Chains A and B, each alone.
Chain A
Amino acid sequence: DAGVIQSPRHEVTEMGQEVTLRCKPISGHNSLFWYRQTMMRGLELLIYFNNNVPIDDSGMPEDRFSAKMPNASFSTLKIQPSEPRDSAVYFCASSSPRTRGTDTQYFGPGTRLTVL
């Protein structure tokens, strides 16, 4: 199994530009999560999908952020326009359904975003 795949691994862009981060979850997993990690705020859940449907987007910072999951094997997180304070590492994670208990989330390697 290839694990969760994220691209790009590193992104450097200028303020005001659009940024698109991509994620391919583990095959067979039906839940997908986007997190952001910064020194100041640690790890924060931005949004999560279940069966391709957004369930909770309360962590999305503002309207500049949007996420989509057009099918079970692909999701995007878009920032438009980007700002320097968006600089962070963005992680994608996926999990599979269980009959009881909390699903274990498997994380991708992350995308390090730098907005100049």
Chain B
Amino acid sequence: AQSVTQLDSHVSVSEGTPVLLRCNYSSSYSPSLFWYVQHPNKGLQLLLKYTSAATLVKGINGFEAEFKKSETSFHLTKPSAHMSDAAEYFCVVSKAAGNKLTFGGGTRVLVKP
């Protein structure tokens, strides 16, 4: 079985400051891990994906995430938040070569001017 826990349901940052979204996973298999973003009234867009290659994964819009097996974590970071980053972010796990995704509960990001 696999599961994902996003440790913060809401994160508030000021524009220009770093963003950290925390994610811990549990998986019986060597997992694939994803971060998706959902802007209001929109579908989900893939930010980045880890599939057992480099542990530091770079995504779109300046986001990156680091896979830490010893901590079973896959935290998402961005050095400088932009107003357009206000959205909900989902950490997702899937077993390697599998099709079923398990979603975390989501973290809603608010960016203050």
A contacts, CB < 8 Å to B: 4, 31, 33, 42-43, 45, 48, 50, 55-56, 91, 93, 95, 100-110, 112
Q: What number of residue pairs across chains A and B have CB atoms under 8 A from each other?
A: 52
A102 with B51, Cβ < 8 A, contacts A43-B103, A48-B100, A55-B99 known: yes
Q: Are B96 and A102 in contact (CB under 8 A)?
A: yes
B contacts, CB < 8 Å to A: 32, 34, 36, 41-46, 49, 51-52, 90, 94-101, 103, 105-106
Q: Are A106 and B46 in contact (CB under 8 A)?
A: yes
Interchain residue pairs with CB less than 8 A apart (14): A31-B99, A43-B103, A50-B99, A100-B96, A100-B97, A101-B32, A101-B51, A102-B32, A102-B51, A104-B34, A104-B49, A106-B46, A110-B42, A112-B41
Secondary structure of the A contact surface, majority rule: strand
Which of chain A's residues have a CB closer than 8 A to the CB of B32? Answer: 101-102
Q: Are B96 and A107 in contact (CB under 8 A)?
A: no
Q: A45-B100, A93-B44, A101-B97 are in contact. List 12 more A-B contacts (CB 8 A).
A: A33-B99, A91-B44, A95-B99, A100-B96, A101-B96, A102-B32, A102-B94, A102-B98, A105-B101, A107-B36, A109-B42, A110-B42
